[in-house]
């Protein structure tokens, strides 16, 4: 059984070249601790520089979101903006097409070539570019192709009160998302207690798992929790307490997942597991209340076949409340053999 502890992104608003430099140094510090070689470090630096330069020169309201996943030796860089979009994405991906005067001259095509994983989506409302990098010979486990997540602290905070974790065993996936009350270090401590309880026995039947999480969060300020088991038979089982929201989405299907009110660690009545069929090609999406509770699914349909991180980032970017921790986790079904 593998348990994945969720990563947290740091946001870098890009207003001038110094912001890009700050993001680049942020990456360099971590990968030096990981022991990346000079070639790999240089490639990551170029990726961050190119994506940041694009935002600075061609976009409005651009940000870089950067996360580190030590278990996979992976750096994830997401570039987001609010327009005007790329008029010709395929041309922009041609190796050697530059971002303009003063850029490193590599272009998005070279970013795609250097990155371990790459995806892009653009419209007049804005663009999202995803680039992940791992050292040579390090591969994402198969679950990585089905999983996408963004997790961002509240503005001005360095600790994120949200958290998430995932476990996989014999084709079944267990997932937990937590949202400690408020934000900052105490909210982070509440979420950490929930995630540790989950990691110790993620496939415990959901009523028992929720009880373990509730007990572990006692003594903290508590929070909202959503737990789900997704077995190979494509019938979702879920349970929770509080205002973490779930949706099952496909190109023709959109259904909310409802859990009872309550605060894990403070006051939570025993909850039973609910079930929901997962239509073929549907995905499960969970988000904390840093994202507005009502959002239309139609604009996300174009992203359903793409890397699930693009979908998670798009929802967090376009529907954030802007005043709280924000987490979106997307899990696709396993493709049939």
Does 300 lie in the same domain as 179? yes
What CATH number is attached to the domain comprising 90?
Answer: 3.30.565.10
User: Residue 96 has what pLDDT?
Assistant: 58
Does 311 lie in the same domain as 182? yes
Q: Quick check: is 4 in a domain?
A: no
How many Å apart are CA 40 and CA 134, to the nearest integer? 8
**Mean pLDDT within 108-127:** 96
H helix or E strand, kind and range, residue 175: strand 172-180
Does 303 lie in the same domain as 182? yes
Does 185 lie in the same domain as 54? no
Q: Quick check: is 140 in a domain?
A: no
Does 312 lie in the same domain as 172? yes
For residues 126 and 337, the model is more confident at 126
The mean of the pLDDT values for the chain is: 94
Q: Quick check: is 305 in a domain?
A: yes
User: Residue 90 has what pLDDT?
Assistant: 86
Does 166 lie in the same domain as 277? yes
Final residue of a structural domain among 133, 166, 194: 133
Beta carbons within 10 angstroms of residue 71's beta carbon: 11
Beta carbons within 10 angstroms of residue 116's beta carbon: 19
Does 151 lie in the same domain as 290? yes
User: Residue 99 has what pLDDT?
Assistant: 47
Does 101 lie in the same domain as 186? no
- Contact between 168 and 1 (Cβ < 8 Å): yes
User: Residue 113 has what pLDDT?
Assistant: 95
**Mean pLDDT within 113-118:** 97
User: Residue 101 has what pLDDT?
Assistant: 45
Beta carbons within 10 angstroms of residue 181's beta carbon: 20
How many Å apart are CA 309 and CA 77, to the nearest integer? 11
Instruction: Decide: pTM greater than 0.85.
Output: yes
Does 264 lie in the same domain as 174? yes
Per-residue pLDDT tens over the stretch 47-64: 999 999 999 999 999 999
Cα of first residue to Cα of last residue in the chain, in angstroms, is 21
Q: Which of 336, 242, 235, 220 is nearest to 286 (CA)?
A: 242
> Where are any strands of DSSP class E within 272-315?
274-277, 283-287
Total domains in the chain come to 2
**Residue 97 banded pLDDT, cuts 50, 70, 90:** low
C-alpha to C-alpha distances, 12 to 48, 84, 128, 283, 321, nearest whole angstrom: 11, 20, 15, 29, 18
Question: Which domain does 225 fall in, by range?
Answer: 145-333
Per-residue pLDDT tens over the stretch 261-304: 999 999 998 889 999 999 878 999 999 999 999 999 999 999 99
Final residue of a structural domain among 72, 106, 133: 133
Enter the tokens of residue 194: 């929930």
Per-residue pLDDT tens over the stretch 138-168: 999 999 999 999 999 999 999 999 999 999 9
User: Residue 63 has what pLDDT?
Assistant: 99
Does 325 lie in the same domain as 179? yes
Does 324 lie in the same domain as 239? yes
pLDDT above 70 (res 105): no
**Mean pLDDT within 31-45:** 97
How many Å apart are CA 262 and CA 72, to the nearest integer? 35
Does 186 lie in the same domain as 117? no
Final residue of a structural domain among 104, 133, 162: 133
- Contact between 225 and 215 (Cβ < 8 Å): no
User: Residue 233 has what pLDDT?
Assistant: 76
Per-residue pLDDT tens over the stretch 184-221: 999 999 999 999 999 999 999 999 999 999 999 999 99
What CATH number is attached to the domain comprising 239?
Answer: 3.60.40.10
How many Å apart are CA 12 and CA 169, to the nearest integer? 36
């Amino acid at each position: 059984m593998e348990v994945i502890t969720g990563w947290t992104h740091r946001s870098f608003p890009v207003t001038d070249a110094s912001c890009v430099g700050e993001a680049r140094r942020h990456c360099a510090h971590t990968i030096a601790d990981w022991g990346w070689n000079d070639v790999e470090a240089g490639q990551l630096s170029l990726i961050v520089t190119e994506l940041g330069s694009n935002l600075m020169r061609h976009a409005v309201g651009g940000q870089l979101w950067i996360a580190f996943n030590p278990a996979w030796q992976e750096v994830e860089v997401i570039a987001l903006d609010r327009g005007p979009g790329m008029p010709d994405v395929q041309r922009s991906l041609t190796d050697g097409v530059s971002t303009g005067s003063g850029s490193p001259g590599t272009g998005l095509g070279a970013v795609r070539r250097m990155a371990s994983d790459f995806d892009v989506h653009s419209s007049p409302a804005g663009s999202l570019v995803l680039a992940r990098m791992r050292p040579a010979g390090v591969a994402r486990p198969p679950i990585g192709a089905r999983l996408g997540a963004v997790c961002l602290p509240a503005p001005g905070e360095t600790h994120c009160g949200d958290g998430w974790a995932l476990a996989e065993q014999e084709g079944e996936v267990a997932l937990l998302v937590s949202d400690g009350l408020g934000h900052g270090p105490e909210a982070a401590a509440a979420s950490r207690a929930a995630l540790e309880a989950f990691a110790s026995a993620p496939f415990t039947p959901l009523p028992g798992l929720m009880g373990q999480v509730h007990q572990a969060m006692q003594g903290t300020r508590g929070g909202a929790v959503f737990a789900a088991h997704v077995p190979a038979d494509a019938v979702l089982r879920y349970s929770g307490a509080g205002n973490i929201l779930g949706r099952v989405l496909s190109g023709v299907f959109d259904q909310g997942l409802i859990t009872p009110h309550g605060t894990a660690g403070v006051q939570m009545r025993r909850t039973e597991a609910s079930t929901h069929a997962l239509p073929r090609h549907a995905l499960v999406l969970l988000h904390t209340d840093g994202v507005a509770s009502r959002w239309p699914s139609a604009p996300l349909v174009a992203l359903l076949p793409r890397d699930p991180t693009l979908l998670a980032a798009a929802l967090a970017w376009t529907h954030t409340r802007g005043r709280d921790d924000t987490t979106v986790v997307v899990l696709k079904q396993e493709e049939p053999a």
